[in-house]
Amino acid sequence: MMYRGFGYGYGAGGGLFMLFFGVLVFVAIVLLVIWAVRSASGHHTAGGMAAPSQPAGHDEAIAIAKRRLASGEITAEQYGEIMRALGA
């Protein structure tokens, strides 16, 4: 008597497991390469990424706050709070 599907190959679940494991290994290698490049560059902070000296749009935010103060939309106290929040 012949048992079909038993002992030959991995079955449907085994194939999916092998595919998942292959993708997992590939992702691990990519992450290892990224980590190695960042470590070699020496530009990293506690979070692992380089911190910009000023956030994008910093100068524009200051200009908007100045314009709002000049037009009377905000008070001097609110302007001071905005400047402290922006680190200016």
Is 50 contained in some domain? no
Q: Are residues 33 and 64 in the same domain?
A: no
pLDDT number for residue 39: 84
Task: Give a yes or no: residue 78 inside a domain.
Answer: yes
Residue 16, domain member (yes or no): yes
Output the pLDDT for position 71.
Answer: 93
- Calpha distance 61→81 (Å, rounded): 13
Does residue 33 sit in the same domain as residue 59?
A: no
Residue 7's pLDDT is 54
Span 29-62, pLDDT tens digits: 999 999 888 888 765 555 555 555 666 677 888 8
Q: How many domains does the chain have?
A: 2
pLDDT of 17: 83
Angstrom CA distances, 1 to 4, 10, 11, 33, stand at 10, 21, 20, 52
Count of positions (residues) in the chain:
88
